[in-house]
Amino acid sequence: MLILAIITALLLIISFICNASKTISALKIALRMFMNLLPQMIPVLFLIAFILALLPPETIEKYMGQDSGITGFLVAGAAGSIALIPGFVAYPMAGVLVKNGVSYPVISVFITTLMMVGILTLPIEKKFFGWKVSITRNILSFTAAVAIGSAMAVIWRFL
Amino acid sequence: MKTYLKKNKYEIIITIFMGLFVLLSYVYDYRIGTESARNFSDSIIEMISFLPLIFILIGLFDVWVPRGIIEKHLGKNSGLMSIVWMILLAMLQAGPLYGAFPIAYMLWKKGTSVRNIFIYIGAFTTMKIPMLSFEIGFLGLKFSLLRTLLSMPVFIIIAFIMQKKFGKNFMMNDGKNN
């Protein structure tokens, strides 16, 4: 956190010395992105906070924790395939979930399906690629996400 | 300000209801409500101190990185280097998956191979630099590095499968009609 703050400050100063107007437009971009994200983020974070208050930690541990096995992957994969959460909201959310006992491999399946698989956006994808290509790509991506999660689960124990 | 409120009106209404829920929870000492509020305030404080830093980095990235240089290297070439250029181009983007489709269409029209189009989509979904900075920030470098290293060969394999399966008469639309 402190390192990140120092790096950001240094880069900002260097950027400002090189080109002040470019730096100001960078800050404007940053502010705009932050303001756009904030209203979306608040309800999602509250929903997560609510679910975490509702579910006892043991339940989360059991279904999405270190030893949840394939159940955890399927729950995470299904959630990630259907959900339409922008990455900027998904990562903070994933951070909260990890702190509450969800395992990293399960999170990787959630993140990967969220990014690569889009069931709700299939109608949009179909407009560009047609049904056959779109469905094939989504099925392959779902399989890939579970494979990545399984590999993560194996490797994570050794790291 | 007015357009901002208008654009986010549903989010704002939901937020007001959340506030009411929390207030009532404290009044009636409803444990789940008060605990949600505590969980929420922990995470939102972390977000608000952390996010501006990442967004400033993304903003700087946006104004300084010359995307044009990479676009020059794209075209009909289908050698191994073209995979590298595709991945680099995708890494510099931002936004949701459906934002990648119009770019894929543009690449297809410029003569990019089926394999490279799906490499672009794969890299777009798993390796965008703005996303990676978020990932490292919230889940740590170890997680991010491992996930990226595992994803790369996987989406390249998917691209090869797509090329083999659909390469012969692959067609794309501009997404406007049908």
B148 & B84 share domain: yes
Q: In 3-state terms, what secondary structure has residue A60?
A: helix
Q: How confident is the model at residue B162 (pLDDT cuts 50, 70, 90)?
A: very high
B72 & B35 share domain: no
Q: Does A59 touch chain B (CB under 8 A)?
A: no
The residues near B122 (Cβ < 8 Å, ≥ 6 apart) are: A116, B90, B151, B154, B155, B156, B158, B159
Are B119 and B86 spatial neighbours (Cβ–Cβ below 8 Å)?
Answer: yes
B32 & B119 share domain: no
Are B99 and B120 spatial neighbours (Cβ–Cβ below 8 Å)?
Answer: no
Residues of B within 8 A of A125 (CB-CB) are: 98, 101
DSSP A111: H
DSSP B97: G
Domain assignment present for residue B110? The answer is yes
CA A132 → CA A113, A116, A137, distances in Å? 19, 17, 9
Compute the residue count for chain A: 159
B84 & B147 share domain: yes
B142 & B77 share domain: yes
B18 & B42 share domain: yes
Residue B117 lies in domain: 67-166
Pairwise CB contact (< 8 Å): B139 & A95: yes
pLDDT beyond 70 at B69: no
**What type of residue is B109?**
K
Pairwise CB contact (< 8 Å): A87 & B96: yes
Give the closest-approach CA distance of A25 to chain B in angstroms.
Answer: 8
Tokens in use for A38?
Answer: 């904030």
pLDDT beyond 60 at B76: no
For residue range A7-64, what is the model confidence (pLDDT) as tens digits?
A: 889 999 999 999 999 999 999 988 988 888 888 888 888 888 888 888 887 787 777 7
Q: How confident is the model at residue B74 (pLDDT cuts 50, 70, 90)?
A: low
CA B56 → CA A32, A94, B1, B164, distances in Å? 11, 22, 22, 42
The mean per-residue pLDDT over the stretch A82-100 comes to: 85
The number of folded domains in chain B is: 2
| ipTM > 0.85 for the complex | no
Task: Pinpoint the alpha helices (H) of chain B.
Answer: 2-7, 9-27, 31-64, 67-72, 80-91, 100-109, 114-127, 129-139, 141-166
CA B116 → CA A113, A117, A137, B126, B173, distances in Å? 21, 19, 14, 15, 17
For residue range A114-147, what is the model confidence (pLDDT) as tens digits?
A: 888 988 888 888 889 999 999 999 999 999 998 9
* B85/B90 Cα distance (integer angstroms): 9
For residue range A99-115, what is the model confidence (pLDDT) as tens digits?
A: 888 899 999 999 999 88
Give the closest-approach CA distance of B123 to chain A in angstroms.
Answer: 10
Pairwise CB contact (< 8 Å): A88 & B134: yes
B137 & B161 share domain: yes
B102 & B27 share domain: no
More confident residue, B66 or A7: A7
B31 & B92 share domain: no
Domain assignment present for residue B177? The answer is no
**What type of residue is B101?**
F
Q: How confident is the model at residue B137 (pLDDT cuts 50, 70, 90)?
A: confident
Nearest CA in chain A to B139: A95
Best of B5, B16, B39, B54 to mutate (most A CBs within 10 Å, chain A) = B39
B23 & B75 share domain: no
